[in-house]
Amino acid sequence: MPERREFDLVVIGAGAAGLSVTAVAAQLGVPVALIERNHMGGDCLNFGCVPSKALLAAAHHAAAIRAAPRYGVTAGQPQIEFSRVLDHVHHAIAEIAPNDSEERFTGLGATVIRGEARFTGRDMVAVNGMTLKARRVVVAAGARAAVPPIPGLDTVPHFTNETLWENRVRPGHLFVIGGGPIGLEMAFAHRRLGSEVTVLEVARMLGRDDAELAEGALLALKDEGIVLRDGVKIARVEGGEGAIVVVLDAGEGREERIEGSHLLVAAGRRPNLDTLDLGQAGIETTKLGVKVDRGLRSVSNRKVYAIGDIADIDGIGPRQFTHVGSYHAGIVIRSALFRLPAKVDYAALPRVTYIEPELAQVGMTEEEARAAGHRDLVILRWPLAENDRAITEGSTRGLVKVVATPKGKILGAGILAPHAGEMIGMWGLAITTGTKLSTVAGMIAPYPTLSEASKRAAGQAFVPKLFAPMTKRIVSLLRRLG
């Protein structure tokens, strides 16, 4: 007979979402089992956020050396030792790994099981010959790179975000299929580290971001020397190691052949649900993930939660960001452990594309606000060219853009600027707390900082009234009164 064990909580997947739930449950004394079949820390630590930002850090240093003469500092051209760059990437992973390790979570009181989980009943999970009975199950299995059905791709060597970090040879000419944040970040990093780069996208690049800000970001990438081709149709890929050919359908029976050395596929992600036997637990799924309500509970099995990259909420699909996984974990903790009502609210969900300048968004874009039925919008802008800190640092490309209602309710904000990811948090807090434009405009911002641009953007809502004829007449009258 297989061993049977009972837990209050069984968590499947040791990525950001699963780890967050497990850590809190274990420290509260809840009997919790954490199952992971692959790497502790999941995609973010091993293949996503951490290695990509470490690579980008190296790229920023290379660019700083090239730009030094503009500031009267002579440094010469940077010498890129690509293998050492990858050493830095793997060092960053290793430094953070103990926070996500099996030893740490065992020390917190969780039972960590390394193996592949599958459901055998509505509240039963099998792993390594054991059967775990759970009061609640949290599926946090994450997602993996999707490989599009491009002819030839199955035989041509290519990277995904999961295999890119094994490459220690700088690409001579890197093709990137996919013009979303992952594809553009990696295109940007490799370009600054000395590679030629061509990005191919079937639709519009940065298609989910504010069109005005996305246009500025793409212009910046073009100025870096990155070739951006959107609206393309890839007929097939050919070639072998170090000699890749992408064949484009040029229409009317014509083809265009472009040659490169390496290929990165960054064309979206697919949920890791294949081996879980979700049907055995009566868990309904879609092509995007597990079908859940806004409390992140399965619509067909109330003992099961699905969080992170696989949570298909009300059919709107997952939001595949590490910080969303952590946010989901908080909702599950309130619901499953404290029995408190908790629902997902994405009104102040931030996202950042880490290129230069960074592109950050929170809340609704202008297009999304109009699509949601907001007809009378107030659109406020403040360019970085009018920000003194940006001028002193020679980085004036960018814009703060705010979307609000005529009554001053903030619906969303977008920032194209250096360190935009650090600046966007204030706008997220404003949306969450219902802070009005007048409060943001009235705050005292330290001078000189980039954050002044946000204050000045908010202040634009009040400029027409401040300098209106009626205001001038009132000031004139008050002057006559002494």
pLDDT in tens, the chain (482 residues): 568 999 999 999 999 999 999 999 999 999 999 999 999 999 999 999 999 999 999 999 999 999 999 999 998 899 999 999 999 999 999 999 999 999 999 999 999 999 999 999 999 999 999 999 999 999 999 999 999 999 999 999 999 999 999 999 999 999 999 999 999 999 999 999 999 999 999 999 999 999 999 999 999 999 999 999 999 999 999 999 999 999 999 999 999 999 999 999 999 999 999 999 999 999 999 999 999 999 999 999 999 999 999 999 977 778 889 999 999 999 999 999 999 999 999 999 999 999 999 999 999 999 999 999 998 999 999 999 999 999 999 999 999 999 999 999 999 999 999 999 999 999 999 999 999 999 999 999 999 999 999 999 999 999 988 888 888 889 888 888 87
Q: Which CATH number goes with the domain that contains 275? A: 3.50.50.60
Based on its alpha-carbon atoms, the radius of gyration of the chain, rounded to whole angstroms, reads 25
Residues 140 and 286 in one domain: yes
Range 316-331 burial, b when 16+ CB lie within 10 A, else e:
eebbbbbebbbbbbeb
Q: Is residue 56 part of a domain?
A: no
* Same domain, yes or no: 291 and 175: no
- State whether 275 and 355 are in the same domain: no
Are the C-beta atoms of 218 and 228 separated by less than 8 Å? yes
402 and 445 together in one domain: yes
85 within a domain of the structure (yes/no):
no
Which secondary-structure segment (H or E) carries 87? helix 82-96
CA-based angle 209:215:221, to the nearest 5?
105
CB 154 within 8 A of CB 263: no
Does the residue 326 lie in any domain?
yes
Domain membership flag for residue 53:
no
Does residue 478 belong to any structural domain of this protein?
no
Say what the pTM is: 0.94
Q: How many domains is the chain partitioned into structurally?
A: 3
Residues 391 and 417 in one domain: yes
In-domain check, residue 252:
yes
Alpha-carbon gap, residue 166 to 84, rounded angstroms:
12
Q: What is the DSSP string of 183-242?
A: HHHHHHHHHHTT-EEEEEESS-TTTTS-HHHHHHHHHHHHHTT-EEEES--EEEEEEETT
Indicate whether 248 and 369 sit together in one domain.
no
Distance (Å, whole) CA 70 – CA 480: 53
Q: Which of 291, 310, 337 is the last residue of a domain?
A: 337
**Residues 138 and 34 grouped into a single domain:** yes
Tell which residue, 445, 473, 474, has the closest CA to residue 457. 445
In this structure, the chain runs to a length of: 482
Secondary structure (3-state) at 315: coil
Same domain, 120 and 8: yes
Contact yes or no for 399/384 (Cβ under 8 A): yes
58 occurs within a structural domain: no
Return the pLDDT at 1.
59
- 247, 267, 287: which is the final residue of a domain? 267
Q: Using N-to-C axis directions, what is the helix angle for 420-433 and 452-459, rounded to 10°?
A: 50
Beta carbons within 8 Å of 302's beta carbon, 6+ residues apart: none
Q: How far is it, in rounded angstroms, from Cα 330 to Cα 91?
A: 30
Indicate if 321 and 394 belong to the same structural domain.
no
Same domain, 22 and 137: yes
Q: In this structure, how many other beta carbons lie within 10 angstroms of the beta carbon of residue 103?
A: 10
> Are 279 and 176 in a shared domain?
no
What residues have CB less than 8 Å from 366, skipping those under 6 apart? 210, 211, 212, 377, 379, 401, 403, 412
The per-residue DSSP string of 418-464 comes to TTHHHHHHHHHHHHHHT-BHHHHHHS---SS-TTHHHHHHHHTTTHH
Q: Which structural domain range is residue 282 located in?
A: 3-40+101-145+270-337
Last residue within a domain, chosen from 313, 337, 361: 337
In a domain? residue 235: yes
Phi/psi at 462 (nearest 5 deg)? -110, -5
Report which of 358, 63, 350, 390 is spatially closest to residue 217, judged by C-alpha positions: 358
Q: Is the peptide bond before 98 cis (omega within 30 degrees of 0)?
A: no
| Same domain assignment for residues 208 and 308 | no
Looking up residue 400, the CATH number of its domain turns out to be 3.30.390.30
